[in-house]
Structure 1
Amino acid sequence: MRKTLVLAGVFALLSGALPAQAAAEIQAVTANVTHDPGNGTFSLTVQREGRTVVSPSPVGIRTAAADLTSGLREVSRSTRTVSENYRMTTGKRLDRTVRHTETRISIAGAGNARFDLVVRVADDGVAYRYELPEATDVLSEASAFSIPANANAWLMPYNPQHENRRFRTTAGGASAGEYGNPSLFEVGQDFVLLTESNVDGRYAGSSLRHTGGGVYQVQLKDQRVAGARIGPWRTVIVGDLATVTESTLVDDLAEPSRIADTSWIRPGKVAWSWLSEHSSPSDFERQKVYVDFAARNGWPYVLVDEGWSDKWVPELTRYARAKGVDILLWFHWNRLDTAAEREATLPLLQRWGVKGVKVDFMESDSQVRYQFYDAILADTAQRKLMINFHGSTIPHGLARTWPHLLTMEAVHGAEQLPLPDGNPIQPFTRNVVGSMDFTPVSLEVGPKVTSIGHEIALPVVFESGWTHFADKPEAYDRYPEALRFLDQVPTVWQQTELVNGYPGETAVFARRNGERWFVGGIAVGGARTMTAPLNFLGPGPWLVETIRDNGRSDVTRTSSRMSASDTLSVQVPANGGFAAVICPATEGRTTCYNSIPQVPATSLTITPTNSVTAKPGSTFEVTGSFTVNSIRPVMDVVLKPTAPEGWTVAGNPVTTRLLRQGEVLSGKWTVQVPVTARSGGFEVPIAAEYRVPDFPQVHVAKAVRGLVPLTGQAYVSDLPFDSATNGWGPVERDMSNGESGGGDGRPMSIAGTTYTKGIGVHAESEVVISLGGTCRAFTAKVGMDDETTSPGSSVFQVVGDGRVLQQSGVLRTGDAPLAFNVDITGVQVLSLKVTDGGDGKNFDHANWAEAHIACNA
């Protein structure tokens, strides 16, 4: 005889064991855990209002010590209510309330091996996980979900970056194979979304393997999960389409925030250049154009993607911050995958004033990669650097645990130049589980098969704590009315409502920020009338500004007064859409649009303006004067220098509570160079920081630049670089270039001869070192590294103060090393450059073996 435990929200705790029929009448969602004593198996059934949405599905786990999938018996059970309130920095709504019934069933198998099955039931779904009495290796799970074969399904073939297209099929009709979380099913009048929550480095991620007949088996992405004790939540979000879409169950199941003070975490809009012009992140002047665009449109960030240089990022950061804009930087994940790399890089980003990082190409759901997520989230939080994961797994509730995680990719987004038919699937699938970095609003980049109204609706339909806009400034400026709307759209929401829609056809969302509602609607297919019932509004008249298509030239905006009983109707073209801004229709109010804040005009002068030569143990004086040139005063001004790490400054910051137009705040300080100061270039930024309404803090800075001259003799690999650029991965010290990660090279080898000292690079590359005119000779043996599997070719150049001092001919793989012996007397700045040999940069792994500099004492 089967034994069934019915779990039905808080009433299961209050009323004890309820019969299934009574439980269904009291609670919309129920979970039935059934034990079959014949084979000793347990299964889970999920119902909504008495309708079965997940048929009996196996539960159980296999570890290195025991098979806990059959021959099982129940030992005990207990039930409690989980009640929590928490606040997010991103998502569908900031303030969250959790009310779950949690039942813990202690289960034993052969040899009295045990585990606890922990089941939670909420108004919007069911979740369960396995808890083991001690850490052990997990081999697999019996976990599966049995969905009616005729249920409509929206699935994505699994790949580790979660970027494949989603498509419509049926639960039973889908081909056998792996599908990615989250997966959506329409079971009669109910919807079911399968996914997982609270997955971190203690476990591995998973996919859903369709084994036939609508059964979807949880498949771990590691064959052996090491040292596991508490598994992730196997999560079933259940309800009508609005309940599923608006669900926060994935976040509700995650661990609480590990960051007490979140005041430094700031979502917002981001200007981003990579998609519209791939080479632009390597262009300092072009990035300044994006900064200027962001500043005048009130966008708080610019993301500088792959190609940026440490030669100019500090200056770009200062330029941006003076305009009220902050800089975010892209990284390949293996530039930050070790603790040593993060310890070297993250403090440097802090000193530059960078506010966050985009980390890319993780492309794995393995336990080891999840341990990387854990480590970099902890380290960036410690340094108060926000983060965005690309080429990543899906959200698992990490944004609750680490609220400085602003968004994640894991979507077939704008970078794939997608067709529009996938757009109305994403908000009902991928975006349900967390912020989604689709990089929307492609007006001129991409296939251009959607209307302008469709594109500008995407930042409302899609939720992302950071919204990275896909196109270039000139494109947006050519659509001024569309841009005006984008300037108004926030990325933080107090409330989210699905107004109407159906996966793959239409999606209309309303999201509230403060007193204003933003509505976005998208459709695919032919022209139609889209509607948005306004019953999400409160009482009183409302001013509704509707933004609709006007051919491909731009959009138009019209205003009307409406109420919560009205329905907004908009004619849209093929693959069209619309947007709206709604605010209280108070007396005299003519628009819901707010003015775009701008920072006041100010100026900062510093001395010395020429480069400083500072020997170890010496001192030098710096001054700064900050002036307000705007009629708007600034508040809480602090003027101070920041010395390099390990250096000291004599003199206190200069402060004032209020600085008005024409007033000047000045200071003078003495900088002490330590006797242990390393040679090379340095900066001493002098900054004025102040507050002004609409900006958390404005930072205006200029840098006194100088040089600690090199003395004695040293290998180049032991010296600090002013900057280093490389054609593939980072420049490596005392090893070959290797692959794209840091520290992954091999011993340097040229034509069979191995070298222990030198730098390994990949064309095109440049290493810059400040000398200060005190050195006399540079020597090296140069050539192509033997690790290249196909012929490489490069040209080596030694450049002093912009002048080529020695250059090789084309050197190829297998050529004998060429000796360089270069007179560098009087050279201030030395550059070691490697260019390709005229046949492209592929395989151009080049070595500056035994690179050495001799200087005066």
Structure 2
Amino acid sequence: MAVPIRAALAGLCSGLLAALLTTAPAQAEQHDQAWTFSVAAHAPQARLALDDTTGRLSLSVARAGRTVIEPSPVGIVTEQADLSQDLRFLHREDRRIDERYRTKSGKRLERRVRMNETRLSFATAAGARLDLVVRASADGIAYRYVLPAGHGDVLGETSAFNLPSDASAWLGTYRADNEGQFARYTAESAPTGEYSDQALFATDGGYTLLAESDLTGGYSGARLAHDQGTGTYRVRLADARVRTDDSDGPLATPWRAMVTGDLATVTRSTFTDDLAPASKVTDPSWVRPGTVLWTWLAGGKEAGQSLAAQKAYVDYAAERNWPYEAVDAGWYFKADEWDTTDPDWQTNSWMPELVDHARAKGVGIIVWIHQRDLDTAEERARWLPTLERWGVKAVKIDFMDSEAQPMLRWYDSILAETAAHHLMVNFHGSTIPKGIQRTWPHVMTLEGVAGEEKRTNTAAHLTTLPFTRNVIGSMDFTPGAFQRVGLRPNSDAAEVGLAVAYESGLQMLAGTPESYDERPLARAYFDQIPAAWDDTRLLAGRPGEEAALARRSGDRWFLGGVYAGPARTAEVPLAIGPGRWLVETVQDGAGGLVRNRQVLRGGDTLGVEVVANGGFAGIACPWRPGVISCHR
């Protein structure tokens, strides 16, 4: 029996040695672990690495084998633990996301979401836990931190984005109202300072727009901090301490998103909406996008204080079949004198009379109101039911001017309460969309942009907005201010084109009735444009130089082009589908706006004569014999 025993022992030892030899490489990998994430071979790919010495995480992104984001730190610090280092890997979970949803506004109404999600769990030696959730789609990579209850307040993130130093960068200087202008730099040459967290970069891997999604009062808004001479952009929170409540359970931070692809992909992307939670409005049938006659730049506070002036604006909107008229500051300037203990206190305002007058003419009323008058629950209980009872359709709320946690908690309240009272919302002096329009579809538009009111805008800034601010959601730039000659950097035809180049669920037109009547081609074009789109395509673009977009409603494509620099013949690929198209354009002529008509095939190049810092607007409809106009 001795020989068989010796043979068995030898076989066992040989097996153990073989096992050790085969497991050694796997153990080495565990000390320097890495994970990759992608939804398809042609899609952007993220790589997360855990350093075997420091326990630090870094994330990089590539597309088509080329660098998009260089290895960048990932981590978060709470009052209980530093979760940016000394981490060890615990386990991994994967799932596939395949969703459909419908919006009320935006680049297209029907949405399809396909993403791969991976949840990686880590812990420190002391047992503090961190889950990192990564999502990958065809047009983006995003990650967020999930912390268990009891983690304490958040003191900051070590999150950052490392860009190649020579990457082109289009950055907007950070402001609390998000109204900084976008200018071009390289990643390393941008001056030391803080920038909007919607920042566009171009590398040999394509374009990448940094963004944020699913920001609520459970956290703090972010901006990008940069030191000149490096390509690093650090995430800096608006609050030095983000307050948390254990009763709320685990904390999921906002998504740090990277919208990635060629310029057409980035421009068309709905990635930040796709990352956001599903709609909280059960029945959004009362939410209706549309064109708005906005009277602030047309008449100022004096018009806002005049019932007669507002009735005249309503009448003009009705003549044009524009569905809304907006009454800006001044209409409730005596509100503090109203006796709100009187059940009929609202009769002290002429607003109900205006609403009734407008309703009879098929026009809805939108009213401006200062955030300080909706600051408390008591104030909201005073105003919101009253506005609903009057028949007001939407509120334009102004001067939040903060992305700190207390203001974000106010957003959480006002969003739910305006939805309950069937009031659409336009936020001014505000945060930027960050997925809000998927979760709260009655948010029709937000400012968060250096728009028409600004007197220092440049043509380059105007041609950058479709690739930066407007990528992430509706933008209330308020185009159409023809009367502001000398106060805007563009031509009349470009001003018409902005109404399509810039997407907004409530497209607030900022001109005077007189300025429209003096430009009948512009007026007729505005009569045609919808504010909700079935599809959006970039036809031609170079940030800071040109942007030509096509947006479809039914079987018609609306075209908008804006340009910076000298006069030229703009060449616009008509990538709107096969067949023959009648294309009508509104262009700048020697004596004003002129119309041009031509029949082209899909895929042909549309040539448009553009003046210096000019542009164009257009409509393309299927051509057949006898069709002489796209206007209906």
TM-score over 0.5 (shorter chain): yes
> 2:609 matched to which residue of 1?
571
For the pair 1:5 / 2:35, whether they are aligned, the reply is yes
Which has the greater radius of gyration?
1
1:448 offset after TM fit, Å? 4.7
For the pair 1:141 / 2:157, whether they are aligned, the reply is yes
Partners of 2:256 and 2:111 in 1: CA distance: 21
Among the aligned pairs, what percent are the same residue? 48
Structure 1, unmatched stretches of 5+, are 12-25, 595-857
SS in 1 for 2:226: strand
Q: CA offsets per residue over residues 243-277 of structure 1, 9 Å max, x none? A: 11111000000000011211100000111111232
- The partner residue of 2:539 within 499, 505, 511 is 499
SS in 2 for 1:487: helix
8 Å CA contact retained: 1:82, 1:102 = yes
> 1:549 matched to which residue of 2?
588
For the pair 1:100 / 2:115, whether they are aligned, the reply is yes
> 1:816 matched to which residue of 2?
none
- The partner residue of 1:380 within 408, 418, 432 is 418
TM-score (norm 2): 0.90
- The partner residue of 2:493 within 434, 453, 456 is 453
The residue correspondences of 1:384-403 to structure 2 (distance < 5 A) are 384-403=422-441
Q: Which amino acid aligns with 1:6?
A: T
> 2:479 matched to which residue of 1?
440
Q: CA offsets per residue over residues 408-450 of structure 1, 9 Å max, x none? A: 0000101113232210010000000100000112211252542
> 2:397 matched to which residue of 1?
359
The residue correspondences of 1:560-709 to structure 2 (distance < 5 A) are 560-594=598-632
Q: CA offsets per residue over residues 822-852 of structure 1, 9 Å max, x none? A: xxxxxxxxxxxxxxxxxxxxxxxxxxxxxxx
Partners of 1:474 and 1:117 in 2: CA distance: 57
8 Å CA contact retained: 1:45, 1:55 = yes
> 2:256 matched to which residue of 1?
234
> 2:130 matched to which residue of 1?
115
Partners of 1:554 and 1:452 in 2: CA distance: 8
- The partner residue of 1:265 within 271, 287, 297 is 287
Q: CA offsets per residue over residues 325-347 of structure 1, 9 Å max, x none? A: 01000011010111111111111
TM-score (norm 1): 0.66
8 Å CA contact retained: 1:411, 1:436 = yes
Q: Which has the higher helix share?
A: 2
Partners of 2:446 and 2:70 in 1: CA distance: 32
| Structure with bigger RCO (C-alpha 8 Å, 6+ apart) | 2
- The partner residue of 2:461 within 399, 419, 422 is 422
8 Å CA contact retained: 1:181, 1:394 = no
> 1:413 matched to which residue of 2?
451
8 Å CA contact retained: 1:443, 1:452 = yes
Q: Which amino acid aligns with 1:92?
A: K
1:163 offset after TM fit, Å? 0.5
1:27 offset after TM fit, Å? 3.6
For the pair 1:184 / 2:206, whether they are aligned, the reply is no
- The partner residue of 1:38 within 47, 53, 56 is 53
Q: Which amino acid aligns with 2:410?
A: F
Partners of 1:512 and 1:345 in 2: CA distance: 38
For the pair 1:60 / 2:75, whether they are aligned, the reply is yes
> 1:679 matched to which residue of 2?
none
The residue correspondences of 1:213-228 to structure 2 (distance < 5 A) are 213-227=230-244
Partners of 2:33 and 2:458 in 1: CA distance: 50
SS in 2 for 1:491: coil
1:188 offset after TM fit, Å? 2.2
Partners of 1:8 and 1:419 in 2: CA distance: 38
Partners of 1:557 and 1:291 in 2: CA distance: 28
Number of aligned residues: 577
Partners of 2:105 and 2:288 in 1: CA distance: 9
Q: CA offsets per residue over residues 789-833 of structure 1, 9 Å max, x none? A: xxxxxxxxxxxxxxxxxxxxxxxxxxxxxxxxxxxxxxxxxxxxx
Q: CA offsets per residue over residues 621-672 of structure 1, 9 Å max, x none? A: xxxxxxxxxxxxxxxxxxxxxxxxxxxxxxxxxxxxxxxxxxxxxxxxxxxx
> 1:81 matched to which residue of 2?
96
8 Å CA contact retained: 1:480, 1:554 = no
Partners of 2:154 and 2:355 in 1: CA distance: 47
Partners of 2:403 and 2:603 in 1: CA distance: 47
- The partner residue of 1:293 within 294, 305, 316 is 316
Partners of 1:248 and 1:105 in 2: CA distance: 25
Q: CA offsets per residue over residues 100-132 of structure 1, 9 Å max, x none? A: 110000010131100100000111110000001
For the pair 1:519 / 2:559, whether they are aligned, the reply is yes
Q: Which amino acid aligns with 1:426?
A: L
Q: CA offsets per residue over residues 555-583 of structure 1, 9 Å max, x none? A: 12222222113211011111111111111
For the pair 1:281 / 2:304, whether they are aligned, the reply is yes
Q: Which amino acid aligns with 1:375?
A: S
> 1:529 matched to which residue of 2?
569
SS in 1 for 2:477: coil
SS in 1 for 2:526: helix
Partners of 1:558 and 1:50 in 2: CA distance: 45
Partners of 1:541 and 1:128 in 2: CA distance: 44
> 1:173 matched to which residue of 2?
189
SS in 2 for 1:425: helix
1:56 offset after TM fit, Å? 0.6
8 Å CA contact retained: 1:276, 1:445 = no
Q: CA offsets per residue over residues 133-157 of structure 1, 9 Å max, x none? A: 1153111011100000100101111
8 Å CA contact retained: 2:43, 2:137 = no
Partners of 1:269 and 1:388 in 2: CA distance: 13
8 Å CA contact retained: 1:481, 1:554 = no
Q: CA offsets per residue over residues 675-710 of structure 1, 9 Å max, x none? A: xxxxxxxxxxxxxxxxxxxxxxxxxxxxxxxxxxxx
> 1:540 matched to which residue of 2?
579
> 1:312 matched to which residue of 2?
350
Partners of 1:474 and 1:286 in 2: CA distance: 14
The residue correspondences of 1:464-479 to structure 2 (distance < 5 A) are 464-479=504-519
Partners of 2:361 and 2:605 in 1: CA distance: 41
> 2:226 matched to which residue of 1?
210
Q: CA offsets per residue over residues 585-626 of structure 1, 9 Å max, x none? A: 1343221101xxxxxxxxxxxxxxxxxxxxxxxxxxxxxxxx
Partners of 1:77 and 1:448 in 2: CA distance: 54
1:189 offset after TM fit, Å? 5.0
8 Å CA contact retained: 1:482, 1:554 = no
